[in-house]
Structure 1
Amino acid sequence: MRTNKPKYHQIIEAAVRVIAKNGFHGSQVSKIAKEARVADGTIYLYFKNKEDILITMFKEKMGQFIEKIVEQTSKREYADEKLLTLIEMHFGQLSKDHDLAIVTQLELRQSNYDLRLEINNVLKPYLSVIDDILKEGIEQDIFRDDIKITLVRQMIFGTLDEIVTNWVMKECKYDLLEEIPLVHQLLLGGIEKIKK
């Protein structure tokens, strides 16, 4: 795939806007091509079909997102601070790009089984970041050592995901970033080691 070509990125950015506005099923390849200002046939030089555009878009965006999270969390010394950074970045990235938030929170959920499997594969590195923070927190004696990492990871990701989905469903009318301190506090409340 020729990912270094400007048209490739143009198509991905156009797809985010078109799918956010029209929904996945209402977004014909011709609409994406028009928004990207390319010929319909040009899209097929880079993508097999509309599903391929959606998955590639998610891989690209999620890949960049994970890189930024790893970079920023690695600057923090303690796991509780890393968790805060992760929450800040999760909410921050999506609150900056309403179209992307609509696509990731609503449109990707309505896709078929094969697409959902692909999406789960794309999410695995992000879930690994959460796992690493939890393991580090246990090693640093900040988090309880009796927590089940896979369960807590689901709790953290599920919480962040649902809060963003709710924000999108309410048409992004309130400041998502204002939720960060309380979300961090509540999540920590379930996993922090109780100081004696």
Structure 2
Amino acid sequence: MKRNKPKYKQIIDAAVIVIAENGYHQAQVSKIAKQAGVADGTIYLYFKNKEDILISLFREKMGYFVEKNEEVIAGKSTAAEKLLVMIENHCRILSEDSHLAIVTQLELRQSNKEIRLKINEVLKGYLHLVDQILYYGIETNEFDPDLDVRLTRQMIFGTLDEMVTTWVMNDQKYDLVAQSSAIHQLLINGCGGKR
């Protein structure tokens, strides 16, 4: 499997930097190859084209994102705690990798419709995680039993997404993770959660 080959990860990590620094449209495959320290042709052993690199990059990073969130959530007993660690983790992962934050918040949105559809497909794993927390909160009577899970999931993801985008647009001048508690409180109130 190509994903387990060391150069695959090298190319993905290089692509994050090159796309963040140059923008997706200006990020030539040759620049990515140079950043990864591989020959241009090597990239085509792993990826069909630049579009494939972008989608694979998102799939890899989002997979890691979901995995890390599942780990931290598993150790918490209430839906409110699960939601808080998910928010903190979301903010922490992106604040620790500013290049990745630029790519996910800005560059992915400028891609064509076909890429966005593939990206939405990848996002489903993350959104499923949010759903699990919401259903758990309803089950344990922490959240309003009439909660509209689909709408609430959009509210949670949309809030986190906008918080990170604003942070990126402000040149990451403030502590994103420090915002977690306030975001959490607003979202818990929106879920009809008990204080």
TM-score by length of structure 1 reads: 0.97
Aligned partner of 1:21 in structure 2 is 21
Q: How many angstroms apart in 2 are the aligned matches of 1:119 and 1:97?
A: 19
Shift of 1:192: 2.7
Q: How many angstroms apart in 1 are the aligned matches of 2:126 and 2:3?
A: 22
Aligned partner of 2:104 in structure 1 is 104
Q: How many angstroms apart in 1 are the aligned matches of 2:7 and 2:193?
A: 51
- Across the aligned residues of Structure 1 and Structure 2, the Cα RMSD in angstroms comes to 1.0
Letter in 2 for 1:122: V
Residues 1:141 and 2:133 aligned together = no
Structure 1 runs (4+) greater than 3 angstroms displaced: none
Q: How many angstroms apart in 2 are the aligned matches of 1:125 and 1:150?
A: 14
Shift of 1:10: 0.7
How do 1:42-191 residues align onto structure 2 when only pairs under 5 Å count? 42-191=42-191
Shift of 1:193: 4.2
What residue ranges of structure 1 are gaps of 5+ in the alignment?
A: none
What residue ranges of structure 2 are gaps of 5+ in the alignment?
A: none
Aligned partner of 1:41 in structure 2 is 41
Aligned partner of 2:32 in structure 1 is 32
Letter in 2 for 1:49: N
TM-score by length of structure 2 reads: 0.98
Letter in 1 for 2:113: Y
Shift of 1:48: 0.2
Q: How many angstroms apart in 2 are the aligned matches of 1:139 and 1:120?
A: 28
The number of residues matched between the two structures is 195
Instruction: Report SS of the residue matched to 2:4.
Output: coil
Shift of 1:194: 5.3
Q: How many angstroms apart in 1 are the aligned matches of 2:161 and 2:193?
A: 25
